[in-house]
Chains A and B, each alone.
Chain A
Amino acid sequence: MKSFVTALFRPQTTYDLVENGSDQSALVVNALSGMFLVASFFLPWLSLMKISLLLVLSLLFGPLVGFFVSSTYARSEWLVGRKLGGSADYSRIYRLFAWSFLSVGLAVFLSTTIVMLLDKLNRGPAALALAPLLIILGFTARSYSLNLVQIQQLPRKRTVISMMLSFLLFALLLAAGLFFLAMLINMGMGGDMKLFEMLGGL
């Protein structure tokens, strides 16, 4: 926990985790990050669902989301970096992403919880809770880019270009995946929608 908190502010700690940590621990960290993200997604729907469902959805599908995001992003970073002359292997990039991703997942979860609580209690503008999220995201991006420079052995400018291209590639892959999923669902959901309409119209 201590190393996680210091990793947030000290890029060197993240670097140590990348160099000395195992792939297995990175996997667990990714699963955890995914759980935080999935829980954050479903938290606003808590009035409609039981808390047990939220927990099970986070436990079952959080790791899947974590594995998918981390693997896809790390692979994009690795592919683009290699084209730009980077020397890091996939495993190190995967570990770097995992430890950075954890703070993102946690920050999103905490912000969502705070926003919801403030909203419920009518205590001040809930948007204020987004400030810590932005601060953590800023620190994470800084730590991630500094460590990427170190492990890819690339000049800073090229690393920034690599990060931007990787993000674009990741976004593109994500959009394509979502589009494919939407098409699949659209192909087969016609009947369900009719059922909704009919029952709603009783």
Chain B
Amino acid sequence: MKTGMKKIWIGIILFYAGLFTFMALYDEKLSPEVESLLQEKQAIIIEPQNVWLPIVGGEAPAGQDPFEYGVAKLKKVQSISNSAQKMEYLAEAATVMDKNRLEFKGKMPGFYGSDGVGMIAYVRTNRAAAEKLIANNLEILTRHEALLRYRHYNEPLTMGVMSPVPNLSILRNGQRLKLLQLAIKAEEGDLAGTIYGLEQEDIFGKLLAVNTRVLITRFMGNIILEANMRFAADLAVNYKLNKQQLDRLKVVLKPFENGEASMTTALEGEVVYMLNSIIWDLKYSDEKPPGKVFLKPNAIRNRMYDNMRQLIVLSKLTAAEYANDVNNAGKDKSGLYKIGLCFLYDPVGEILVQVYQGASFTGYIERGHNLEGLRRLALLKTMIKEEQIPKEQIQQFLDKKAKELGNPYTGKAAGWEPQKGRIVFQGVTEKSEIYMKF
């Protein structure tokens, strides 16, 4: 080889050696916002009033205390993580299910869905089945009733994915069993007791919705609140309630406050959860040098934070602003995240943001606004019954109430669909809807 060519080849080799070294070693500085979020101290979890513990321990085998079971589950994960075991052991400890865990027996009907029946109508026609369902799952119901006495909710957010996973299925079924029991109580004529039970459910649902900072649990909080509101409207329509009883139902259906319907707190918490999850993974995963080249802890966290920050901004919009934003974004794809030059040194972070973008977190924000839509529909349904509006005048009544109880996205009045026997709001997009059957 000629000397000139040799020099060129040496130059090329040196250039690529330099380039690959840069790609392997370079990482960004942690952004100040991320740094401050990572400073968040672990909340005190093991305290007698923390309802998160019995929720986590909700699946405790029959006869065991869910609170103590939740504590034991948390301590197990903490002891393993303190001994710096590998990721697999930690993940296993966080999600492991006891062989004798409590499980729901039977099949819960799909209440209030598109074809689903209301709880009160179900109890009227299937009383024996409802009572059997309750009798077969008495322990789940008793545990759910015990949850209603707690007044605090604290999650170990800084443990990230290593935090024990709450058994949301038990929680959801427990609440439906409770409402079913209240429906039976109403059928027996104890309306005051039924409304009191619903009020307790409402307090619990709001405690969960306001305090949880993890999206999945927040989602469960929404489901609980939705069921409560539908049940409240169901009560108003099916029984002759006196003024005082109706007023108590209206308290359940009062406008949301203190972020009860907003997803912002959950999204902000999700950032802390996610940033800590990444730390746990980097700390305990057993990747070797070639894989580590693709992992840039600071760049990954900066990128994920930037992405979530946009969602947090989106979650602070009003329903109308949000609908406008979503519908414009649907037409204009330029706002979608595209992998940029950082891919050269942070391929994992750039791809993760792409994956996260596809996860459609905006659906969670929409759920928050839909909750307000549902509240308005439930209140309208209650008022239609209270004011004894004839069917042919319902649309007129809805039009009259559009100002204070109109569609949260458009401000338009709810629509009355006599054939389907329901009142309805158009959702954030033309195809989606929020409705309440009569």
Q: A residues touching B (Cβ–Cβ < 8 Å)?
A: 23-24, 27, 48-50, 52-53, 56-57, 60, 63-64, 67, 91, 184-185, 187-192, 194-196, 198-200, 202
Contact = CB atoms under 8 A, between A and B. Distances in A.
B292 A202 contact: no
B216 A190 contact: no
A190 B277 contact: no
Contacts, number: 97
A23 B344 CA distance: 30
B337 to A, nearest CB: 9
Interface string B112-156: 000000000000000000000000000000000000000000000
B241 interface: no
B341 A52 contact: yes
A50 B341 contact: yes
A184 B8 CA distance: 29
A198 B348 CA distance: 14
A64 B354 CA distance: 27
A199 B340 contact: no
B290 A187 contact: yes
Given A23-B2, A52-B340, A195-B281, A189 B294 contact: yes
B196 interface: no
Contacts of A185: 290-291
Given A49-B338, A185-B290, A192-B291, A199 B285 contact: no
Given A53-B340, A184-B290, A202-B274, 13 more contacts: A27-B8, A49-B340, A50-B340, A60-B344, A188-B288, A188-B291, A190-B286, A191-B285, A192-B291, A195-B278, A196-B352, A199-B274, A202-B273
B341 A190 contact: no
A196 B300 CA distance: 12
B16 A49 contact: no
A25 to B, nearest CB: 11
B277 A192 contact: no
Nearest to A67: B12
B87 A194 contact: yes
Contacts of A200: 355, 359
Interface string B327-371: 000000000001111011000100010111001000000000000
Q: For chain B, what secondary structure do more than half of its interface residues adopt (helix, strand, loop), or is it mixed?
A: helix
A192 B287 contact: yes
A38 B136 CA distance: 64
A189 B338 contact: no
Contacts of B277: 198-199
A181 to B, nearest CB: 9
Interface in B149-196: 161
Interface residues of B, number: 43
Nearest to A46: B338
Contact of B215 (A50, A64, A195, A202): A202
Interface string B5-42: 10010001000100100000000000000000000000
- Name, among B278, B282, B285, B356, the residue most crowded by chain A CB atoms within 10 Å (CB to CB): B285
Contact of B352 (A49, A63, A199): A199
Contacts of B390: none
Contacts of B4: 24
Contacts of B63: none
A198 B161 contact: yes
Contact of A53 (B5, B285, B343, B348): B343
A190 B344 contact: no
B295 interface: yes
B281 A48 contact: no
B424 to A, nearest CB: 32
B259 to A, nearest CB: 21
A137 B178 CA distance: 73
Nearest to A91: B1
B291 A189 contact: yes
Contacts of A202: 215-216, 270, 273-274, 359
Contacts of A27: 5, 8
5 contacts: A53-B340, A188-B288, A192-B295, A196-B355, A202-B274
Nearest to B357: A48
Contact of B291 (A67, A91, A191): A191
B289 A188 contact: yes
The 10 tightest CB contacts between A and B, nearest first, are A188-B291, A191-B285, A191-B287, A188-B290, A188-B288, A49-B339, A189-B291, A184-B290, A195-B281, A50-B338
A24 B5 CA distance: 7
Contact of A190 (B291, B338, B343, B354): B291
Nearest to B12: A67
A56 B340 CA distance: 10
Contacts of B359: 200, 202
Contacts of B352: 195-196, 199
Contact of B339 (A53, A190, A196): A53
Interface in B247-289: 270, 273-274, 277-278, 281-282, 285-289
A167 B9 CA distance: 25
Nearest to A190: B287
A64 B19 CA distance: 11
Q: Which of A50, A56, A189 lies at the interface centre, i.e. has the most chain B CB atoms within 10 A of its CB?
A: A189
